[in-house]
């Protein structure tokens, strides 16, 4: 709807753009401007009173009122009065006044009485960037049934929200929002946000649309895919059949088998070319090896910083690191990005642009191993299609345990036993160098102990230029790897059975889950030890009880009270005020359903 210049200026000050967002700024309290014939101590009340006397003390003014609606006297007290207040109370004047009534030993007082002209209503009071009276007038101008209906909202939601701005007397008795009001506010908040996301989504014609089959690829695999892997592949199959370029995110837990979904997508796109970008040389190399193994009929090439700059035209499947961004790429019908959160938005967009033709774009799939709560996946699906893979191809057998200094001897015995079985151990430290702030050893302080006690100890961290080579050497020859969280995503270590995370309480639960996901990748018995100096930590105790990344993402939400939950998608940077991501899945589903029914605007 169109706003006047003044209204638009007020909206800008409030940081909002729609009437729906205005409706979300609800009153923080209400003032009852109705006359009552009974005095009610400890409450704000309206009186119809005549000023009988005025006494000025150094720091206050005392006014004697005769209150007609109560039939007796009340003393009004103004503390530290402003000059304009002096002229509001003249002996003999009869007016309406509003203030807090208190009674003691038979006498009653009203603190900070103010003169009131409009009576008979319950008036909402707002806390916002605008003055309360300005905000009140703005809501009266714009908040009405027709304006909210024009936003696409249903009658029930409109009625519940308007009742907060145009209150009935019953609202004064309630100290908290009713369940109905709370649900309406959650719905409205999600509706506004998801509708905005929907508008941001842009549709482009696909370079190629084709009906694809994946059965022959799946049948040749030496193992069975999970139902969720197959569902994700079917989602992609449907995407490819549309004229519109796909934009889909496939979110899978650690070890859920996303690689097979990537390969199935490249297989279905044949005879057209596919490009895949991975965040590290190690990952790109692993994906390249898997492609050669399971897609022998496709001509596949690996592109890294070390690859010679020759033509890539002869290949069906180009797999590479960000080095792809600096190459001349041939046209491809499908672009995929693995571990998409490791690349900036700019890098992801660059790859897409490199091979787009005019207004036509390739199908675009992004893969993430950081599970997100189902609620969040549903919200993000207003902006991008989402497929979740929550199950793993085989059940991992990992024991998780919180340990302290007193458990260190037992930990050493465990490590010795695992090495004797030709298994490997990862020890993650919070810092590379010593810190006066942190009560944990750093890699540099700890490495001497481990190198003295054990053989074949390898060390790496984020700033280590040789980290990829160190990881490869460790995979083949190592017993113990000492590292920072650099190994959170990366190389597959088939013999790794134990991870020890030092200062575990400092890390997010999703990061702990990623690190735990490094062990037991091939079905071996795994162990995860969370070392902490804290005597008790509820968060870690809950973490060790669950192995599902999606449940852990919900736990992370429960304990993470701040930060932008939408990973940068919420451009205003503000958090949701009413929505509880862990609980409100049904409301999200309802909003999503209702948005689909709205007429598409140009």
The predicted structure's pLDDT at residue 566: 38
What one-character DSSP code corresponds to residue 244? B
Instruction: Give tens-digit pLDDT for 43-79.
Output: 899 999 999 999 988 888 899 999 999 888 999 999 9
pLDDT at 572: 34
**Within its chain, how far is the Cα of 56 from the centroid?**
57
Report in angstroms the alpha-carbon separations of 217 from 158, 271, 336, 476. 52, 14, 19, 31
Rounded to the nearest 5°, which phi and psi values hold at 110?
A: -125, 115
> 398-546, superfamily in CATH?
P-loop containing nucleotide triphosphate hydrolases (3.40.50.300)
368 contacts 250 by C-beta, under 8 angstroms: yes
Among 247, 253, 256, 255, which Cα is nearest to 227's?
256
Tokens 């302290």 label which residue? 404
Handedness of CA 125, 127, 132, 136 (dihedral sign): negative
Tokens of 370: 């950081």
pLDDT score for 58: 83
Can you name the residues that pair with 67 across neighbouring β-strands? 49, 72
Question: Is domain 205-389 given the CATH code 3.40.50.300 in the classification?
Answer: yes
**pLDDT value of position 539:** 87
pLDDT score at 573: 34
Q: Cα–chain-centroid distance for residue 513?
A: 17
Q: How far apart are CA 523 and CA 107, in angstroms?
A: 81
- Residue-level pLDDT at 582: 63
pTM: 0.67
Residue 177, pLDDT score: 82
Torsion of CA 255, 258, 264, 268, to 10 degrees: 170
| In the chain, where the domains are located | 5-31+121-175, 34-116, 205-389, 398-546
Position 574 scores a pLDDT of 41
Host H or E run for residue 206: strand 205-206
Residues of the chain with pLDDT below 50 are 561-574, 602
Q: What is the pLDDT of residue 230?
A: 96
The pLDDT of residue 76 is 92
DSSP 71-95: TEEEEEEEES--HHHHTT--TT-EE
Left, alpha or beta for 223 (phi > 0: left; psi -120 to 50: alpha)? beta
pLDDT computed for residue 568 by the predictor? 38
Distant-in-sequence, close-in-space partners of 203: CB < 8 Å, separation ≥ 6: 244, 245
Q: How far is residue 109's CA from residue 65's CA, in Å, rounded to a whole number?
A: 9
In the sheet that holds 526-531, the strands lie side by side as 398-403, 526-531, 496-502, 424-428, 480-483, 457-459
Q: Is there a shared CATH topology between the 205-389 domain and the 398-546 domain?
A: yes
CA 48/CA 69 separation, integer angstroms: 6
Q: What superfamily would CATH give domain 34-116?
A: Nucleic acid-binding proteins (2.40.50.140)
The predicted pLDDT at position 490 comes to 57
Phi, psi of 428 (to 5 degrees): -100, 125
């Amino acid at each position: 709807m169109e706003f006047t210049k003044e209204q638009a200026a007020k909206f800008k000050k409030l940081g909002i753009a729609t009437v729906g967002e205005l409706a979300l700024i609800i009153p923080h309290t209400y003032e009852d401007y109705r006359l009552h014939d009974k005095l009610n101590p400890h409450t704000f009340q309206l009186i119809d009173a005549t000023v009988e006397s005025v006494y000025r003390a150094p720091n206050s003014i005392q006014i004697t009122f005769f209150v007609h609606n109560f039939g007796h006297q009340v003393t009004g007290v103004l503390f530290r009065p402003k000059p304009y207040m002096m002229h509001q109370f003249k002996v003999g004047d009869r007016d309406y006044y509003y203030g807090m009534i208190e009674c003691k030993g038979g006498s009653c007082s009203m603190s900070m009485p103010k003169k009131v002209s409009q009576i008979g209503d319950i008036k909402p009071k707002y806390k916002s960037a605008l003055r309360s009276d300005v905000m009140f007038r703005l809501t009266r101008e714009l908040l009405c049934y027709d304006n909210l209906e024009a936003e696409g909202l249903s009658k029930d939601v409109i009625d519940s929200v308007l009742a907060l701005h145009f209150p009935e007397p019953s609202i004064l008795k309630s100290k908290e929002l009713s369940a109905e009001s709370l649900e309406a506010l959650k719905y409205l908040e999600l509706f506004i946000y998801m509708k905005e996301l929907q508008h941001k989504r842009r549709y482009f014609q696909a370079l190629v649309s084709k009906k694809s089959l994946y059965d022959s690829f799946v049948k040749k695999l030496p193992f069975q895919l999970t139902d969720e892997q197959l569902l994700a592949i079917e989602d992609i199959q449907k995407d490819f059949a549309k004229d519109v370029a796909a934009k889909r995110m496939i979110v899978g837990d650690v070890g859920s088998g996303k690689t097979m979904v990537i390969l199935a997508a490249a297989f279905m796109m044949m005879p057209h070319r596919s490009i895949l970008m991975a965040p590290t040389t190690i990952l790109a190399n692993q994906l390249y090896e898997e492609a050669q193994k399971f897609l022998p009929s496709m001509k596949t090439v690996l592109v890294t910083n070390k690859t010679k700059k020759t033509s890539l035209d002869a290949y069906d499947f180009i797999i590479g690191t960000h080095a792809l961004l600096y190459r001349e790429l041939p046209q491809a019908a499908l672009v995929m990005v693995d571990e998409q959160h490791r690349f900036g938005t700019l890098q992801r967009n660059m790859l897409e642009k490199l091979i787009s033709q005019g207004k036509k774009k390739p199908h675009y799939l992004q893969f993430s191993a950081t599970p997100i709560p189902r609620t969040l996946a549903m919200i993000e699906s207003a902006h991008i299609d989402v497929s979740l893979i929550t199950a793993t191809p085989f059940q991992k057998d990992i024991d998780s345990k919180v340990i302290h200094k007193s458990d260190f001897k037992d930990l050493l015995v465990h490590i010795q036993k695992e090495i004797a079985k030709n298994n490997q151990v990862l020890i993650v430290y919070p810092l590379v160098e010593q810190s006066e702030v942190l009560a944990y050893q750093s890699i540099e302080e700890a490495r001497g102990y481990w190198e003295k006690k054990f053989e074949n100890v390898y060390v790496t961290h984020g700033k280590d230029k040789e980290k990829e080579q160190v990881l490869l050497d460790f995979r083949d020859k190592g017993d113990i790897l000492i590292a920072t969280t650099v190994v959170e995503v990366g190389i597959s270590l088939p013999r790794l059975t134990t991870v020890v995370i030092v200062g575990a309480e400092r890390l997010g639960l999703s990061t702990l889950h990623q690190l735990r996901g490094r062990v037991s990748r091939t079905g071996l018995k795994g162990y995860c030890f969370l070392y902490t100096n804290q005597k008790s930590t509820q968060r870690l105790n809950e973490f060790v009880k669950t192995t599902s990344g999606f449940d852990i993402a919900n736990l992370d939400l429960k304990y993470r009270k701040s930060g932008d939950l939408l990973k940068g998608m919420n451009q205003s940077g503000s958090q949701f005020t009413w929505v509880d991501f862990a609980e409100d899945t049904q409301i999200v589903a309802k909003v999503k359903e209702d948005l689909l029914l709205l007429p598409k605007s140009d």
